Amino acid sequence: MKFYMTPGSCSTGIHILLEELDLLFEVYLVNLMEGDQFKPDYLATNPKATIPVLIRDDGSALTEFQAIAWWLARQHPKAGLLPDSIEGETRVIETMDYVVGTIHGQGYTRIFTTSNYTSNEAEHAAIQAHGKTIVESGFAVMNEILAEREYVVGNFSIADAALFYVEFWADKIQLELPPHCERHYQRMLQRPKVRQVLAEEGYRV
């Protein structure tokens, strides 16, 4: 398979899942700052101009974090990356949608890509502050979910890979995580495959 990713981005979560499953894949780096996602060759692969992208063995492309993560888990059921029950699987999907769609999609985008919201630099600080509020509110929700659990649904699942990458971003911008999220983040950092991925992507653990 071919995996299109950017180090330290949301694709890090998928990278972790690929390594947790011990799959063979080729990595293709996409430099978002240089605009690689808008180049014709990349758009031919993914017209959405987004990451991550996973090209499967049959040549078909999968995009969107949740879809790729769910496919990997269903394709390799013995790995236990999804709960056995419908309720558990639903909670995993619910968590991924909230993390990717709200904490990342509404919160961090305002912090990291502020200019996409306005070209008026005088408004940037207010937009970033709003983004920070969304992120903090999101972590407050996740903190309650993690109150009596080591992982989102008890055992490690694809939802934890999603939550990890937004916790990782919080660490990098020195945003304090609430206690249960911090414990989850530290627990994730102790997983050998997580440490391997971060090292491969150029980060010190």
What distances in angstroms separate CA 163 from CA 52, 92, 132, one per listed residue? 16, 11, 16
Residues 6 and 99 both lie in one domain: no
Domain assignment present for 159? yes
Residues 102 and 127 both lie in one domain: yes
Beta strands in 77-150 (DSSP E): none
Domain assignment present for 198? no
Residues 71 and 110 both lie in one domain: no
Q: What is the mean pLDDT of each run of 10 residues along the chain (205 residues)?
A: 97 98 97 95 96 97 98 97 96 98 98 96 97 98 96 97 98 98 98 98 90
Domain assignment present for 125? yes
Residue 137: the pLDDT is 98
Predicted TM-score (pTM) of the model is 0.96
* Structural domain count, the chain: 2
Residues 52 and 92 both lie in one domain: no
Residue 204: the pLDDT is 84
**Domain termination residue (choose one: 36, 55, 79):** 79
Residues 74 and 49 both lie in one domain: yes
Residue 76: the pLDDT is 98
Instruction: Print the domain residue range for 174.
Output: 86-191
**Domain termination residue (choose one: 79, 103, 135):** 79
Residue 162: the pLDDT is 98
Half-sphere exposure of 44 (CA within 13 A, CB side): 4
Domain assignment present for 32? yes
Residue 205: the pLDDT is 77
